[in-house]
Amino acid sequence: MPGHASGCDFTARIDDAAITDRRQEKREREIDSQDASAKIALGDRYGLTRAERYFLKGPAIFAQRDFVFRAPVHIVENYSGHLTAGQRSEVIDIDNMGRCDSACVLHDLLAYDLRVEEFITAKRKKGATTVRSKGKLAGGTEARYNPGASANKTGFCPQIIIGTTTMMRFAVPAIFLLACLGAPLKAQQSAPPAGQVYQLKPTPKTVAWGYYDAKTPPVLRIKSGDTVEIQTLIASNPERFESAGIAADRIEPAMRDIFREVKEKGPGPHILTGPIFIEGAEPGDVLEVRIQQIRLAIPYAINAFLPGRGFLPDDYPYARTKVVPLDEKRMVAHFGDGIEIPIRPFFGSMGVAPPEVTGRISSGPPWIHAGNLDDKDLVAGTTLFIPVHAPGALFEVGDGHAGQGGGEVDLSALETSLIGTFQFIVRKDMHLRWPRAETPTRYITIGLNADVTEATKMAVREMIDFLVQEKHLSRDDAYMLASVAADLEITEVVDGNNGVHMAIPKAIFATKQ
């Protein structure tokens, strides 16, 4: 943020009148938390997706993009780091879609389930204010922030403001985080910390077949900065290979072992290697996954479609499987006579555990945990940023592709087994609600929704947020820049939640921001 001090200063104010009669307010909150019809009505009013409705918890203040779902919200004026003397941030009024003025950056507001009885303990230490909330994020995640962090060192300086919010029948205190995100993606270019190197191969004891789950025991524990070489298996089965004409001795033994021994599987189809526990990763952090290298593990891929699946299920009410030889030396796939496809290997599914409250989820649809993004841009040399929802993050990877078209329209790509080298960095200086990515030449934001139009809107809004936070543009300029310089691209349209991503070239930005 231009003009921001090297350290973080905080101005906080608590309205004592708003925290009286705590027991009565707590009873009213408990009543509201059980009011499912109100939750549904709120979701309908603001067009929330099913995923977003899930995170509405009672009277939690739920924020999406740049507005809040309760009104009116009064932001404390004249706080350090954003507003100059005499300036005052405007009232955020959701009914009129009022917005924070350009002097401040409204960042997510994070969906707090605030319990007045356990609301806040504030103490001063060495001249700085440390604020701790005993409340939980709406998804069950404990709020963890370090207000004393240096903006120059971490690029993240949460401004903690305590004001008054009117919520239906009563008034309660509310915490809003206005983040001066100095360089959340740019910061990843710094030299990675030194770490250990591990190797993880797929066996019946080191895979999760078809799911992400916060309760899955980790198969490997590492530290932030460590590197892991991970081998993955094709998302198919030995019998299907043999019926497609692949010789029995060319089918990986590990696949036969897993199909024979693993009984706990589903609801998704992917054989995912992991999970990997990264020490220090906590809900609210971001896991930076640096994809350092990807190579082929077998000399063939398959492509297949199934009846009732894919983007055109009515046009193809039958099944077909095609074996595609891979030439690793020339890095081409021989699709057919006179047709060679460049090999650009990537992992279709890279993700972390969802919040524990969601339970086990299918490896099929991508979501807040990333997972089955099927983004063909995530090749070696790129970085994926994933919000952490469970202790240790619990990273899993699989669904290897030798290549894919945007959309993956028949349900599969050039499905194959891959070996990837990943470095994992726990980012406590970042906060994301949805995955983002970065290539050597582009910044990428991701939209995921069952409706392609809604997924597209989400990708655009995420790009606007990125440009405001990272490049310090006003929201108006960010919207305009997205229109003239960023590209919308279909990621996939077959995984339940459709994927659209927006990419903006790094080259358009001057080196000095």
Q: How confident is the model at residue 238, as a pLDDT?
A: 86
User: Which parts of 46-126 fold into alpha helices (H)?
Assistant: 50-54
More confident residue, 424 or 18: 424
Q: How far apart are CA 505 and CA 487, in angstroms?
A: 9
Single-letter residue type at 456: T
Name the packing angle between helices 452-471 and 475-485 (round to 10°).
120
Confidence at residue 240, expressed as pLDDT on a 0 to 100 scale: 83
**What does the pLDDT read at residue 26?**
53
Residue 421, burial from CB neighbour count under 10 angstroms (0-12, 13-18, 19+): middle
Q: Residue 313: its pLDDT value, please?
A: 96
* pLDDT at 128 (0 to 100): 33
* Cβ atoms < 10 Å from Cβ of 207: 25
Q: What is the mean pLDDT of residues 331-357?
A: 97
Percent of the chain with pLDDT strictly greater than 90 = 58
Query: Do residues 134 and 176 make contact, with C-beta atoms less than 8 angstroms apart?
Result: no
| pLDDT, mean of residues 236-253 | 87
Residue-wise pLDDT tens digits, 36-77: 545 555 455 445 555 444 444 333 333 332 333 332 233 322
Q: Residue 36 to residues 54, 57, 63, 91: CA-CA distances in angstroms?
A: 11, 9, 18, 29
Position 40 scores a pLDDT of 55
pLDDT recorded at residue 173: 33
- Residue 152 or 462, more confident: 462
Comparing CA positions, the residue from 393, 355, 376 lying closest to residue 492 is 376
Question: For residue 134, what pLDDT is reported?
Answer: 32
* pLDDT at 296 > cutoff 80: yes
Q: What is the pLDDT of residues 120-177, one digit of tens each?
A: 233 223 333 333 333 333 333 333 323 333 333 333 223 323 233 322 322 333 333 3
Helix (H) or strand (E) holding 438: strand 436-438
**Length of the chain in terms of residues written:** 513
CA distance 91 to 89: 7
The yes-or-no verdict on residue 31 having pLDDT over 50 is no
Give the chain's largest Cα–Cα span: 78
Q: Which residue has the higher pLDDT, 153 or 497?
A: 497
- For residue 171, the model assigns a pLDDT of 30
Q: Give residue 279's identity as a one-letter amino acid code.
A: E
Q: What is the mean pLDDT of the chain?
A: 73
Higher-confidence residue of 341 and 246: namely: 341
pLDDT at 192: 56
Mean pLDDT of 334-351: 98
Q: What is the pLDDT of residues 373-398, one digit of tens each?
A: 999 999 999 999 999 999 999 999 99
Q: Is the pTM of this model over 0.85?
A: no
Domains of the chain: 16-182 (no CATH), 195-429 (2.60.120.580), 441-507 (3.10.28.20)
Beta bridge partners of 341: 333
pLDDT for res 136:
32
pLDDT of 182 above 50: no
Q: Can you tell me which residue has the tokens 């009543």?
A: 31
Q: Does pLDDT of 441 surpass 70?
A: yes
